[in-house]
Amino acid sequence: MSTPPAITARGLRKAYGEKVVLDGLDLDIPAGSIFALLGPNGAGKTTTVNILATLVGADGGSARVAGHDPAREPDAVRAAIGVTGQFSAVDGLLTGEENLALMADLHHLDRAEGRRRARTLLERFGLVEAARKPAGTYSGGMRRRLDLAMGLVGRPRVLFLDEPTTGLDPRSRRALWDMIRELAAGGVTILLTTQYLDEADQLADRIAVLDDGRIVATGTADELKSLVPGGHVRLTFPDAAGYDEAARVLTGAVRDDAALALQVAGGGSVPEIRGLLDQLDRLGLDADRLSVHTPDLDDVFLALTGRAAPAEAISR
Ligand SMILES: Nc1ncnc2c1ncn2[C@@H]1O[C@H](COP(=O)(O)OP(=O)(O)O)[C@@H](O)[C@H]1O
Ligand SMILES: [Mg+2]
């Protein structure tokens, strides 16, 4: 890889009492890329971000963020990073503008420069009209945008986004995705955590699947998907007789008796589907519904961990 890593971690360990939260975590994140740490609730995502962002000390291992050691040079790391937490840093009693001014103070910017950056960020994030209203009156999407803007006041080279879109409606989510892509295109290195497999797929150059404090796989979305056997076609039948007959003929199909549905392995190409329907036709059988399922990251999680991703991650 030609670009130097913006974030590295080697053997990061963290325990709270008996509970091992991080069990030897390694990361290599090239500068200017988007990296997703994907895992269910409790996997250790926030703990990882907190250690790299100097907010929590590790029990073992080492890390470098923007060329500095979070444990030994926390000030240098803090000067180079922005953090948007899972739990928003936005103060609901302050206006959007005031929240940004507060961040400018934390970064020791002079007032004129602080105001300039605040104005630019309010424009960029579509918050000009709301700038003088208390952030407590903002919608969820506006709050997240303000939170992200606050993380950018210090012009970070490395940005940590801990579950940036959890709880957002699809439109706000898409808007935030665009902003995240734009930041990466501008050269910012982004480590984002997510429970949403499609979010990692949409945004990340590389993905690490975190399960119980361990990385169980790393790769591009395509590489992860290739770990999973191909997709399947699902056929639903109107009556039990037709269903049983089809199940006898389509050998190898997986039965779902409750739904009178059969899953037939295969990629779901047009010739494959045509062949399948012709086969049923010849027997005078009719399926009343057909759907094609290409493997997604949910399947990857299942293949890697032997468990389904938690319901939250697959409900959308
Ligand atoms: N300060 C803490 N004290 C005790 N246990 C903690 C603390 N922070 C996190 N944990 C535990 O560590 C595990 C991982 O937490 P976390 O990193 O927040 O996971 P995630 O962000 O992936 O949901 C969880 O089991 C959580 O309960
Ligand atoms: Mg978390």
The string of pLDDT tens digits covering residues 127-149 is 999 999 999 999 988 999 999 99
pLDDT score of 87: 67
Q: What mean pLDDT is predicted for residues 19-42?
A: 95
Residue with CA nearest ligand 1 atom 16:
44
Spacing, Cα 223 to ligand 2 middle (Å):
25
Q: Is the CB of 225 under 6 A from ligand 1?
A: no
Residue with CA nearest ligand 1 atom 7:
16
Q: What mean pLDDT is predicted for residues 79-98?
A: 88
Picking from 290, 33, 49, 71, the residue whose alpha carbon sits closest to that of residue 185 is: 33
The alpha carbon of 160 is separated from its chain's Cα centroid by a whole number of angstroms, namely 12
Q: Is the CB of 213 under 6 A from ligand 1?
A: no
Spacing, Cα 42 to ligand 1 middle (Å):
6
Task: Specify the length of the chain in residues.
Answer: 316
Q: Is the CB of 37 under 6 A from ligand 1?
A: no
Spacing, Cα 217 to ligand 1 middle (Å):
21
Under 8 Å between Cβ of 157 and 6: yes
Q: What mean pLDDT is predicted for residues 36-51?
A: 94
Percent above pLDDT 70 for the chain? 94
Atom of ligand 1 nearest to the CA of 47: 17
Beta strand 206-211 with 34-38 is: parallel
Under 8 Å between Cβ of 98 and 138: no
Q: Is the pLDDT of residue 1 over 60?
A: no
Query: Helix (H) and strand (E) counts for the chain?
Result: 12, 13
Structure tokens at 86: 């899972």
- Cα distance between residue 243 and residue 262, in whole Å: 8
Tens-digit pLDDT profile for residues 259-281: 999 988 876 788 888 999 999 99
Q: What mean pLDDT is predicted for residues 15-40?
A: 95
Spacing, Cα 308 to ligand 1 middle (Å):
20
Residue with CA nearest ligand 1 atom 13:
42
140-152 and 96-106 helices cross at what angle (nearest 10)?
A: 20
Q: What mean pLDDT is predicted for residues 93-115?
A: 94
Spacing, Cα 268 to ligand 2 middle (Å):
37
Picking from 126, 128, 146, the residue whose alpha carbon sits closest to that of residue 136 is: 146
Q: Is the CB of 139 under 6 A from ligand 1?
A: no
Q: Is the CB of 39 under 6 A from ligand 1?
A: yes
Q: In sequence order, what E strands does the chain have?
A: 5-16, 19-30, 34-38, 60-65, 81-84, 158-162, 189-194, 206-211, 214-219, 232-236, 254-256, 261-265, 289-293
96-106 and 111-124 helices cross at what angle (nearest 10)?
A: 130
Query: Which residues fall within 8 angstroms of residue 40, CB to CB, at 6 or more apart?
Result: 195, 211, 309, 310, 312, 313
pLDDT score of 308: 66
DSSP per position, 220-277: -HHHHHHTS---EEEEE-SSHHHHHHHHHHSTTPEEEGGGTEEEEES---HHHHHHHH
Residue with CA nearest ligand 1 atom 17:
44
Tens-digit pLDDT profile for residues 193-249: 999 888 999 999 999 999 999 999 999 988 887 777 667 889 999 999 999 999 999
Atom of ligand 1 nearest to the CA of 41: 23
Q: What mean pLDDT is predicted for residues 110-114?
A: 94
Neighbours of 9 (CB within 10 A): 24
Residue with CA nearest ligand 1 atom 8:
47
SS3 state of residue 22: strand
Q: Is the pLDDT of residue 2 over 60?
A: no
Q: Is the CB of 38 under 6 A from ligand 1?
A: no
The ligand whose atoms approach the alpha carbon of 43 most closely is 1
pTM over the 0.85 mark: no
Q: Is the pLDDT of residue 307 over 80?
A: no
- Cα distance between residue 267 and residue 273, in whole Å: 9
